Amino acid sequence: MDKSLQIQYQKKLTTADEAVKVVKSGDKLFIGEFVQVPEALEAALAKRVDELENVQLRATTYSKPLKTVAADPTRTKFIYDDWHFGGIARRLYSKGLAGYIPLTYHQAPRLIHKYVDVDVVFAQTTPMNEKGFFNFSTSNSITHANIDKARTVIVEINNTMPVCLGGNNEGVHISEVDMIVEGPNNPLIEVPPVPVSDVDRGIAKYVMEEIEDGACLQLGIGGLPNVVGSLIADSDLKDLGVHTEMLVDAYVDMYEAGRITGKRKNIDKGKMVYTFAMGTNKLYDFLDNNPMCASYPVSYCNDPRIIALNDKVVAINNALEVDLYSQVASEATAYRQISGTGGQFDYIFGAFNSRGGKGLICISSTFTDKQGKVHSRIVPTFKPGTIVTVPRSCTHYIVTEYGIAQMKGKSTWERAEALINIAHPDFRDELVEAAKEMNIWVRSNKLQ
């Protein structure tokens, strides 16, 4: 390593307690993304709870409990908002301790540059390499956009993380860093695959019928991607590509089975493109210094114009509910924020504009509430406080374990009819009656 880089490193090296002294009351902080938690810095900031007021903390799907929030149950010292909800933010939100920031995900770096003030960034990175770069590892997304706006940039090193190659903006040079903290080096949080249900298998059967040789895949989170990945690995599909928001373990299985080559992609040929990764150590080990994988900011990875440049994009996402107008609710229902818009709209829109592309919203036909009552996920209309993630004008395919329904070019009654035909049989009659009351003309004789 160049001696001048070593000198810079030593000059900027400090402790977490010293580093967080730059934070002032009223500051706006970006404190990390997904499975990468700058633990030493966040814990040190929490210790300053009695000295600070109105410090705004923003993160993307934080995956560990926040010591700052625990230190301030009044939400007057540290105000936490999240760009996309996971389990941590969901629980905090229910207690009034977190807020959600609505966004169209691919626009996030641009809107940060235009509208968001950032005083301090805490970014967890790999150790500096011989060229003076700290790698963002599994979480590219919006980290560099925040660094671009920040007054002070502090990196916390974790030497257990994989080095994730770009792409672009997958790291930051020491010349852009103000302080360096060597963290506790805890391993990345593992997100084990969600158990696969019989319903997932039923849905996957229809999904598999839509995937052709040379298709370019985007998989969301949950049990369904696991079963689709397993079915693809055991299939005879050839030369699949990857251009996805989130990289999960299922892609490793498909690659190791020889199904993913990326040879037929029009852009990033031969590369598995993603903006963040969450999974088990199998995935993290696969990513480490792997030139097959390319990490990009979300402004590239999720841009519908970029997505559409590849042919046969198959985007597979889930939802909470779909109404008879074919609107899709995937993030909030009845005043309860559950996740976020994420990249669902980006990929549904981008996949449709891809030559031969398909945007699939996959849902179980029913769910059972805490009282044991079964409800249909296909509903007449949404309850107040339910947020539309994909408007009906953009909805492409809806898939349940009872079939697949294509929405494009269909009238309102044709959409309702198609949706009722893939709803759970126990709810179809009442959905027909609801459609009549809503003045959607449904030819009930065609509903079986």
Encoded tokens for 273: 């493109």
User: Do residues 229 and 254 share a domain?
Assistant: yes
User: Do residues 110 and 250 share a domain?
Assistant: no
pLDDT range class, residue 224, cuts 50, 70, 90: confident
Is 188 a domain residue? no
Q: Are 40 and 124 in contact (CB under 8 A)?
A: no
Handedness of CA 166, 167, 168, 169 (dihedral sign): negative
Q: How many CA atoms lie within 13 A of 269 on its CB side?
A: 4
CATH number at residue 212: 3.40.1080.20
User: Do residues 215 and 168 share a domain?
Assistant: no
**What percent of the chain is modeled with pLDDT above 90?**
94
3-state helix, strand and coil shares in percent for the chain, rounded to the nearest 5:
30, 25, 45
User: Do residues 9 and 102 share a domain?
Assistant: yes
User: Do residues 146 and 226 share a domain?
Assistant: no
Domain end: 182, 207, 232, which one? 182
Which residue in the block uniquely carries the two structure tokens 């996309």?
A: 84
User: Do residues 164 and 228 share a domain?
Assistant: no
What's the per-residue H, E or C state across 376-389? Answer: ECEECCCCCCCCCC
Domain count, the chain: 2
Domain end: 139, 155, 182, which one? 182
Task: Say what the pLDDT of residue 249 is.
Answer: 94
pLDDT range class, residue 274, cuts 50, 70, 90: very high
Is 193 a domain residue? no
User: Do residues 277 and 316 share a domain?
Assistant: yes
User: Do residues 242 and 361 share a domain?
Assistant: yes
User: Do residues 178 and 143 share a domain?
Assistant: yes
* Cis upstream peptide for 409 (omega within 30°): no
Taking the CA atoms of residue 292, residue 63, residue 86 and residue 90 in that order, the dihedral angle to the nearest 10 degrees is -170
Does pLDDT of 63 surpass 90?
Answer: no
Instruction: Give CA–CA dist 317/220, Å, rounded.
Output: 5
Is 187 a domain residue? no
| Spatial CA neighbour of 276 closest among 240, 304, 300, 308 | 300
Residues in the chain: 448
Domain end: 128, 150, 182, which one? 182
CATH number at residue 38: 3.40.1080.10
User: Do residues 259 and 357 share a domain?
Assistant: yes
Is 362 a domain residue? yes
Quote the DSSP letter at residue 352: H
Task: Say what the pLDDT of residue 442 is.
Answer: 57
Q: How many CB atoms lie within 10 A of CB 413?
A: 15
Is 207 a domain residue? yes
Q: Is 182 a catalytic residue?
A: no
pLDDT, tens digit, for every residue of 288-312?
Answer: 999 999 999 999 999 999 999 999 9
Task: Say what the pLDDT of residue 133 is.
Answer: 98
| SS3 label, residue 285 | helix
pLDDT, tens digit, for every residue of 136-195?
Answer: 999 999 999 999 999 999 999 999 999 999 999 999 999 999 999 999 999 999 998 888
pLDDT range class, residue 223, cuts 50, 70, 90: confident
pLDDT range class, residue 391, cuts 50, 70, 90: very high
Q: Are 430 and 420 in contact (CB under 8 A)?
A: no
Task: Say what the pLDDT of residue 444 is.
Answer: 53
156, 170, 245, 401: which is the annotated catalytic residue?
Answer: 245
Pairing type for strands 358-362 and 313-318 reads parallel
Does pLDDT of 60 surpass 90?
Answer: yes
pLDDT range class, residue 226, cuts 50, 70, 90: confident
Instruction: Give CA–CA dist 345/360, Å, rounded.
Output: 11
Task: Say what the pLDDT of residue 412 is.
Answer: 96
User: Do residues 214 and 166 share a domain?
Assistant: no
Is 234 a domain residue? yes
Is 379 a domain residue? yes
353: containing domain:
198-446
Q: How many CB atoms lie within 10 A of CB 109?
A: 23
Give φ, ψ of 132 to 5 degrees: 90, 15
Distance from chain centroid for Cα 106: 11
| Reported pTM | 0.96
Is 189 a domain residue? no
Does pLDDT of 68 surpass 60?
Answer: yes
Does pLDDT of 54 surpass 80?
Answer: yes
User: Do residues 349 and 384 share a domain?
Assistant: yes
pLDDT, tens digit, for every residue of 244-261?
Answer: 999 999 999 999 999 999
